[in-house]
């Protein structure tokens, strides 16, 4: 972990899509989007970003590390809350610009800084053009922990200060 994380430069279309070299494609901010799902249930738990260092640490340790855009820092999931994510499997997509993690959550089994298991606890109703009557429907929204009792500085998923990860 002493030398800086580095990955091969992305190859051409054929190499990216049909090759075996992992050459992740970071965006202009040096980040790659991450989808974390529950290895147990398949539900989407959270959406976040990694920079190269977070990705390298996740690969090496098998513990999910992310890049907090709001706080501008690397963070190991659960470093404050105790709600860690062990990565059961990591996959990359066709053009290697997105990552899917299947994780096992420890601690309170909560990915979301609001205390919920998943960040996706509200359904958007379908079937008519969205207008002011469109109202979100709450599902699976029970809190697994009380965020005000866990976070001192908002130091976990999405922070608690800015409301964006």
Contact 76, 54 (CB under 8 A): no
Contact 155, 80 (CB under 8 A): yes
Our finding on whether 30 is near a copy of itself (CB under 8 A) is no
What's the closest the beta carbon of residue 145 comes to a copy of itself, in angstroms?
Answer: 14
Nearer to a copy of itself, 72 or 164 (CB): 164
Our finding on whether 148 is near a copy of itself (CB under 8 A) is no
Distance between CA 24 and CA 42 in Å, rounded? 24
In this structure, the strands spanning 85-92 and 99-105 are antiparallel
Residues near 38 by Cβ (< 8 Å), separated by ≥ 6?
Answer: 45, 102, 103, 104, 105, 117, 118
| Per-position x/- string for 81-110, each x denoting binding to a copy of itself as judged by CB under 8 A, each - no binding | ------x-xxxxxxx-xxxx----------
Nearer to a copy of itself, 86 or 107 (CB): 86
Contact 1, 60 (CB under 8 A): yes
Query: Which member of 26, 71, 106, 114 binds a copy of itself (CB under 8 A)?
Result: 114
Interacting residues with a copy of itself (CB under 8 A): 1, 5, 7-8, 12-13, 16-22, 25, 33, 35, 37, 41-44, 46-47, 55-56, 58-60, 62, 87, 89-95, 97-100, 112-114, 116, 119-130, 132, 134-136, 138-139, 158, 162-165
């Amino acid at each position: 972990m002493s030398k800086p994380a580095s990955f091969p430069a992305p190859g051409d279309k054929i190499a990216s899509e049909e090759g075996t070299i992992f050459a992740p494609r970071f965006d202009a901010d040096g980040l790659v989007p991450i989808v974390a799902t529950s290895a147990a249930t398949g539900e989407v738990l959270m959406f976040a970003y990694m920079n190269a260092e977070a990705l390298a640490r996740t690969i090496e340790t098998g513990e999910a590390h992310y890049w907090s855009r709001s706080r501008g820092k690397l963070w190991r999931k659960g470093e404050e809350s105790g709600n860690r994510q062990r990565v059961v499997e990591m996959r990359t997509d066709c053009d290697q610009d997105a990552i899917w993690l299947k994780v096992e959550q420890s601690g309170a089994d909560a990915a979301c800084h609001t205390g919920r298991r998943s960040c996706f606890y509200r359904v958007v109703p379908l079937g008519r053009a969205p207008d002011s009557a469109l109202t979100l429907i709450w599902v699976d929204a029970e809190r697994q922990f009380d965020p005000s009792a866990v976070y001192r500085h908002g130091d976990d998923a999405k922070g608690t200060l800015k409301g964006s990860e």
